[in-house]
Structure 1
């Protein structure tokens, strides 16, 4: 845990360097970062660990999504999309969302698919977690 003045790229780099010193290089262990996309975090991970997979916590995606896209049907559809294991299944789920709410669909397709849906996760990582395990704001699975 760390306390910093602001969540910036520089403070995340500092934190992640200490993290790597403590556990070793994340790419050597095939770790996956799962985050809530905090300010500065994405560029810090890209700078320090460009080959490490970085996914977005679906719970946090949903928390932002529900501000403008309310309802249990949309919530369930988003989670079905995230949990889909094949591209075909994912595309069916996304079409369902599109049929329900075009703006909800647009919101989701503008988030990098490889970072929130199992159907696009790489096989090199040894997890298909959607964002339940956390180390501070950064999930490590």
Structure 2
């Protein structure tokens, strides 16, 4: 199933799960055709459950590997058992101001979005990504331990002590951190409560779980997400039933039902008549790279392979090649 069936899929999804929020943004091309631009989905069970999570929202975007270029945006929280709890998803053309604005405006129906709808909310950045960026820019020193230690310090006095140590160790690193508002990356200066969520690891875990479907057409991707969340909710309900306090049950109380066959229900004529065409932007030719692209400073898993030295085919010595060989040949 492709973009052509997206509107029909969203209708039957909401038919089976009343209260689910979906939206599609389109644009007209030069020929007057209606082309896909953005899509949004948030299941009713997730909407009901987010109220019982820690009051920290992690938003992230990950690239898709299908025929057309695109990015999957997500908003997730963390439940009382420290597990990722997805709330909303969107497929957009790229990560830019317009797509993020559209995503948060759709989320406003679920939770009050930053600044405009929720003025008491505070923005923070991932400490792990900051650590990697510093490690990549200023190698050979102890920044990998010093920066996160300063960021996780609870008291201002403790932070100032560690921050001064960073300055004495490498002034360049300290100057780089000075350009970043301390409220964004430190526990001690954050204006709200971060509930010990200093990284976006829950979003990274969610992206990894969605990896098998990130090369699928959009309808197949949305259905993969629905089925995955159905399994997660059922598994967590079973754990709560036998091992955890009943007060946690409200988080996964909602039931996610499968979508019915569109032929078995009445679908409005305006949805059936909608001709939705794929976006104009296509992925470049060649096999897509489905491996996760590492962030700056991120270390790949497993041992690194040693790079073999060049071996000259003329003198058979290492360290150069035939075109630059100056060794005498007997």
TM-score (norm 1): 0.71
Map 1:84-103; keep pairs closer than 5 Å: 84-103=153-172
1:75 maps to what in 2? 144
Which protein, 1 or 2, shows the higher relative CO under an 8 Å CA cutoff with sep ≥ 6? 1
Shift of 1:2: 2.2
Measured against aligned partners, the alpha-carbon deviations of 1:12-65 in whole angstroms (never above 9, x if no partner) come to 0111122232x3225xxxxxxxxxxxxxxxxxx556655421100011112222
2:187·2:194 contact (CA, 8 Å) conserved in 1? Answer: no
Shift of 1:128: 3.3
2:103 maps to what in 1? 15
In proportion to residue count, which structure has more strand? Answer: 2
1:25 maps to what in 2? 112
Q: In 1, Cα distance between the equivalents of 2:181 and 2:115?
A: 14
Segments of 5+ residues of structure 2 without an aligned counterpart are: 1-88, 208-330
1:5 maps to what in 2? 93
Q: In 1, Cα distance between the equivalents of 2:176 and 2:118?
A: 27
Report SS of the residue matched to 2:197: coil
Q: In 2, Cα distance between the equivalents of 1:112 and 1:90?
A: 14
2:123 maps to what in 1? 54
Q: In 1, Cα distance between the equivalents of 2:91 and 2:133?
A: 24
Measured against aligned partners, the alpha-carbon deviations of 1:73-102 in whole angstroms (never above 9, x if no partner) come to 211000111111111111110111111100
Report SS of the residue matched to 1:12: helix
Aligned pairs, number: 117
In proportion to residue count, which structure has more helix? Answer: 1
Report SS of the residue matched to 1:118: coil
Change (3 A) 1:65 1:48: farther
Report SS of the residue matched to 2:130: helix
Change (3 A) 1:47 1:25: closer
Q: In 2, Cα distance between the equivalents of 1:14 and 1:78?
A: 34
Q: In 2, Cα distance between the equivalents of 1:11 and 1:50?
A: 21
**2:193 paired with 1:125:** yes
RMSD: 2.4
Shift of 1:117: 0.5
Q: In 2, Cα distance between the equivalents of 1:70 and 1:48?
A: 42
Q: Where has structure 1 moved over 2 Å in runs of 4 or more?
A: 45-51, 132-137
Q: In 2, Cα distance between the equivalents of 1:12 and 1:47?
A: 14
**2:175 paired with 1:106:** yes
Q: Which has the larger radius of gyration?
A: 2
Q: In 2, Cα distance between the equivalents of 1:118 and 1:67?
A: 23
2:328 maps to what in 1? none
TM-score (norm 2): 0.32
